Amino acid sequence: MNNSKSKNERAYHLIVWGASGFTGRLVAEYLLGQYGVGGELRWAMAGRNQAKLETVREGLGEGSGAVPILLADSHDPDSLDALVSQTRVVCSTVGPFAKHGSELVAACVRAGTDYCDITGEAQWIRRMIDAHEEQAQASGARIVNCCGFDSIPSDLGCLFLNQAMQNRHGTPCDSVNMRVRRMRGAASGGTFASMLNAVEEARSDPQTRRTLGNPYGLNPRGETSGPDGPDQSSPRWDADVNSWTAPFVMAAINTRVVRRSNALMDYAYGRDFRYSEAMMTGRGAGGWARAVSITAAMAGFLLASSVGPTRALLGKLLPDPGEGPSADDRERGFFDIVMVGKAGERTLRARVKADRDPGYGATCKMLGESAVCLALEGDRLDVAGGFWTPASAMGTRLIARLENSAGMSFELEPEKAGAA
């Protein structure tokens, strides 16, 4: 068994795995700008291709020459064992995770190395929990999935709002409805590849369909039921935010993560706690029409990606792995989320915002800060080895980091605000 002392003696605080990819490069750039290298934070970039990593390193900015490069391959367990034993924490951007992530998680679990990633692939997380939870508890490895746009704003926003309700009114929320008020951003080739892979797995594997179809599909075994039904799948009017709403594509993972957090935190939000997500589309006929068109676009994408010929066509139209939104688009991007929490007659609203695009500009900071939190504050986190969520593992410490360094904010709104 590895204890935290031996972890603390390792050469690196953290390793960015997949630093040659679109998101991995942004994480490396963020860490270099924020923490330098080899000082307060000892970190390295890693991947499978030395030449590619060197090219990426050259483009990272001042001081980048000092960032060490390490090599391994996702499907070579010996190379992964050698990699993860050098560091306290691995943060991974190598996806689709269901295709390229399993051996890395197994290696971290063996070595007692903490791990965080930006997967949104619920079916894969379920497989990893079922395969490795016990061994992670024994080795001391803390595995924290979903440390990007899915699902940090939802998971930490829900924690923040529940704590506020508890502090003000002495009770957690009975329900929280998360509504995306505004958002600007686009997806990378790697993200589309992961979505297409999940659709493919759901088509061919009944267990995947069961996991994805269960609102509590990520909860601990024996606790996979509760009061929530399926995610919203059609346009709906929401009087609490005075807006039409449409299904939100990330709800499929975010809602599961929030419910798992509640279970892992001994039902701090209550056993009857309810949670939902949707996108606000505005009032009147225009708001309704937008909700209808988003619903139709999502259904169309799902259909096209599950049928052979259109799936092949999508593969040609979508960005390739390694491609993603431009620096300008990331700078101009943002998200603005409102969470409406209710406890009996009482209502509180929280606002979660970021000043960069959700998928990359903000995600690279969320993942970077999650990894730094595990690496530098790991001894002060009140969690042992096992599979955790961002809220249950790092909670308010991570909120503070994201507010201080990552351009994010978590705040309560005046009680009567919330119009579209």
Ligand X SMILES: NC(=O)c1ccc[n+]([C@@H]2O[C@H](COP(=O)([O-])OP(=O)(O)OC[C@H]3O[C@@H](n4cnc5c(N)ncnc54)[C@H](OP(=O)(O)O)[C@@H]3O)[C@@H](O)[C@H]2O)c1
From residue 301, alpha-carbon distances to 98, 105, 123, 342 in Å are 20, 30, 19, 34
* Whether the Cβ atoms of residue 271 and residue 223 lie closer than 8 Å to each other: no
Q: Considering only residues 343-362, where is the footprint of ligand X by CB under 6 A?
A: 359-360
Q: Considering only residues 187-206, where is the footprint of ligand X by CB under 6 A?
A: 188-191, 194
Q: Considering only residues 45-74, where is the footprint of ligand X by CB under 6 A?
A: 47-49, 52, 73-74
Q: How far is the CB of 80 from ligand X (least distance, A)?
A: 9
CA distance 409 to 149: 14
Strand order in the sheet with 12-17: 69-71, 43-47, 12-17, 87-92, 114-117, 142-144, 386-388
Partners of 99 in beta bridges: none
CA distance 257 to 391: 9
Q: Considering only residues 359-398, where is the footprint of ligand X by CB under 6 A?
A: 359-360, 363
x-or-dash pattern for ligand X, window 141-170, by CB under 6 A?
-------xxx--------------------
Q: How far is the CB of 78 from ligand X (least distance, A)?
A: 13
Between 95 and 215, name the residue whose CB sits nearer to ligand X: 95
Enter the DSSP assignment of 18: T
Which class for 232: exposed (0-12), middle (13-18), buried (19 or more C-beta within 10 A)? Answer: buried
Partners of 182 in beta bridges: 336
Between 95 and 112, name the residue whose CB sits nearer to ligand X: 95
Q: How far is the CB of 55 from ligand X (least distance, A)?
A: 10
Taking CB under 6 A as the rule, does residue 248 contact ligand X?
no
Among 106, 110, 120, 245, binds ligand X (CB under 6 A): 120
Q: How far is the CB of 412 from ligand X (least distance, A)?
A: 25
Which class for 242: exposed (0-12), middle (13-18), buried (19 or more C-beta within 10 A)? Answer: middle
CA distance 323 to 247: 26
Residue 287 has a CB neighbour count (10 Å cut-off) of: 20
Q: How far is the CB of 47 from ligand X (least distance, A)?
A: 5
Among 321, 336, 342, 355, binds ligand X (CB under 6 A): 321
Among 322, 327, 396, 404, binds ligand X (CB under 6 A): 322
x-or-dash pattern for ligand X, window 11-50, by CB under 6 A?
-------x-xxxxx----------------------xxx-
DSSP string computed for 246-312: E--TTHHHHHHHHHHHHHHTTSTT-TT-EEEEEEEEESHHHHHHHHHHHHHHHHHHHHHHHSHHHHH
Q: How far is the CB of 95 from ligand X (least distance, A)?
A: 2
Sign of CA dihedral 171, 172, 174, 179: positive
Among 85, 87, 93, 255, binds ligand X (CB under 6 A): 93
Among 31, 37, 84, 94, binds ligand X (CB under 6 A): 94
Find how far residue 209's CA is from the centre of its chain: 21
Among 31, 118, 136, 350, binds ligand X (CB under 6 A): 118
Taking CB under 6 A as the rule, does residue 115 contact ligand X?
no
* Whether the Cβ atoms of residue 146 and residue 390 lie closer than 8 Å to each other: yes
The secondary element (H helix, E strand) that includes residue 399 is helix 395-405
Between 150 and 238, name the residue whose CB sits nearer to ligand X: 150
Between 94 and 350, name the residue whose CB sits nearer to ligand X: 94
Report CA Rg, the chain.
20
Q: How far is the CB of 319 from ligand X (least distance, A)?
A: 8
Taking CB under 6 A as the rule, does residue 96 contact ligand X?
yes
Q: How far is the CB of 193 from ligand X (least distance, A)?
A: 7
Enter the DSSP assignment of 232: P
Site size toward ligand X (CB under 6 A) is 35
What is the three-class DSSP state of 48?
coil
CA distance 356 to 330: 6
Between 291 and 354, name the residue whose CB sits nearer to ligand X: 354
Site residues (CB under 6 A) for ligand X? 18, 20-24, 47-49, 52, 73-75, 93-97, 100, 118, 120, 148-150, 188-191, 194, 321-322, 324, 359-360, 363
